[in-house]
Structure 1
Amino acid sequence: MEHDTKTGIVKSGSAWLLVVIADLGIKSWGDVAAMLAALYSLVLLIEWAWKRIARPIFEAHGWIAPRKRRHIETTGHGDL
């Protein structure tokens, strides 16, 4: 009996998921690919804005701790 209940819940949940996806206008795999590409582009834009714009402003105001800069140790000429 418990297995039947879980199976029914999973089936109805997946049916509602498909209804929501269809309401978004996704009707083919090409639409899925386009939506994922747009989502990935949005994530990249947000990351760029955070690194180049928001984080330096937040660090300047002291709202977040500044990043620790890496120090590259240099050796003399010819030293390995």
Structure 2
Amino acid sequence: MDESTTVVAPFAKAVSAWTAIGITSWSDVASAAAFLYTLILIFDWCWKKFLRDWLKSKGKK
């Protein structure tokens, strides 16, 4: 197995995985990254505002 085959195979798998979920351009990648970052920020806000205090009131740490 030569070096070009070992590099191309993982790259091809990654590209096929991205296209399987509908990401085919850099603007799609940016949209997906923004979506994931927004979800993380929303979860962090909910955790700090509601969930952490609710769990403390239930006696869990």
Q: Aligning the two structures, in what range does the TM-score lie when normalised by the shorter sequence?
A: 0.7 to 0.9
Q: TM-score, normalised by structure 2?
A: 0.84
Structure 2, gaps ≥5 residues long: none
Deviations 1:16-62 (A, max 9, x none): 11101011111111111110000000000110111111100111111
The residue type equivalent to 1:22 in the other structure is T
More helix by percentage: 2
The residue type equivalent to 1:14 in the other structure is F
Q: Distance in 1 between matches of 2:19 and 2:33?
A: 15
- Higher relative contact order by CA 8 Å / sep ≥ 6: 1 or 2? 2
Q: Distance in 1 between matches of 2:58 and 2:28?
A: 43
Aligned-pair RMSD on alpha carbons? 1.7
User: Do residues 52 (structure 1) and 49 (structure 2) align?
Assistant: yes
Residue of 11, 17, 24 corresponding to 2:14: 17
Question: Which consecutive segments of 4 or more residues in structure 1 shift more than 2 A?
Answer: 7-11
Larger radius of gyration: 1
Structure 1, gaps ≥5 residues long: 65-80
Paired positions, count? 61
Residue of 33, 46, 61 corresponding to 2:58: 61
Q: Distance in 2 between matches of 1:19 and 1:41?
A: 25
